[in-house]
Structure 1
Amino acid sequence: MATPRVAAGALFFDDAGRVLVVKPSYKDGWDIPGGYVEPGESPRTACVREIREELGLSTAVGSHLVVDWAPAPGEGDKVLFIFDAGVLPESERDQIKFRDGELTEWRFIADDDLDELMPARLARRIRTALAAQRRGIPVYAEHGSAPQAL
């Protein structure tokens, strides 16, 4: 029986449609807010918890945009969720506080800048999530991309 690691992250947007990314203190590159799901916890609940722990924001997240089968060398099988957190109002941006020391900075970036700041597999997953949001239909992905129909 498979026992993948499960993680959940969220896409927040500004009014221009740029994506909020965060800089972890414990690894290279940028990421989206989120983290691993704890035993007995749903991916959505984990996402909300991680946003509260990492950014100090109490926010609801919408529907999932992507479920990604993304095993990684040295890390094993993974199932990764991205949820839609909608537009982050300017008033809430001022409330972002790095509570647990895992993050050092945040910013909004355009789709074109994803490849410069993060691993290719994460950039693909975010782009797949952005396409799903535009279509209004969640997507199943493998390694960040929606598979072609068989």
Structure 2
Amino acid sequence: MEILTACGTLVYSKRGELLICHISGNDSWDIPMGFRKRGESALLAARRSLYEHVGILVDEKSFNFFGDIGFGSTSKLILHVLRAPNDFVDLANHILTVNYVPNILAEGQLEFIDGIRWVKESDVNEFCTPWVARRLLGFSWSAALE
């Protein structure tokens, strides 16, 4: 059985806030991530997903490996950390239009990012589902920034 691998990026601002994205048709926010394509490294998948979701291309050397998280026997999430460059700070003030191929959901609906914002650790529960919040709050935010 093939294990589905999602690759995402924990993008932190200099203020210690985390960048999250809102997925259309969903009540929750999550980090920018997507499934790895066949033959693609986890780093390149995380970099591509960040570009597809947020519209910013960052040099590979700016990413640091953070961890590999299993989700049962059929999927896993590989995370990288990125300290946001100065020009990332204004991202939360607008919604970006990004050129990418949206996911087609089982019902034939398109899934796309319709909002991005910075959140403080204390505000994660307000924006994310309990399942996502538990995972995001389970990471040491200060350790990720070291």
TM-score by length of 1: 0.73
Native 8 Å contact 2:21 2:115 kept in 1:
yes
Native 8 Å contact 2:20 2:32 kept in 1:
yes
Native 8 Å contact 2:7 2:34 kept in 1:
yes
Native 8 Å contact 1:82 1:129 kept in 2:
no
Q: Do structure 1's residue 90 and structure 2's residue 49 form an aligned pair?
A: no
Q: Any stretches of 5+ residues in structure 1 without a counterpart?
A: 137-150
Residue-pair matches, total: 130
Report what 2:68 is aligned to: 67
Native 8 Å contact 2:14 2:83 kept in 1:
no
Q: Structure 1 115/49 Cα, relative in aligned 2: closer, same or farther at 3 Å?
A: same
Spell out, residue by residue over 1:12-54, the C-alpha distance to the aligned partner (whole angstroms, 9 max, x if none).
1222101011101143300111211111111111111111122
Report what 2:119 is aligned to: 109
C-alpha root-mean-square deviation of aligned residues, in Å? 2.5
Q: Do structure 1's residue 7 and structure 2's residue 18 form an aligned pair?
A: no
Native 8 Å contact 2:95 2:114 kept in 1:
no
| Distance (Å, rounded) in 2 between the aligned partners of 1:24 and 1:5 | 20
Q: SS of the counterpart of 1:63?
A: strand
Q: Which moved more, 1:125-134 or 1:107-116?
A: 125-134
Q: Any stretches of 5+ residues in structure 2 without a counterpart?
A: 103-111
| Distance (Å, rounded) in 2 between the aligned partners of 1:120 and 1:32 | 14
Shift of 1:91: 5.8
Q: Which amino acid aligns with 1:103?
A: I
Percent sequence identity is: 22
Q: Which amino acid aligns with 2:141?
A: L
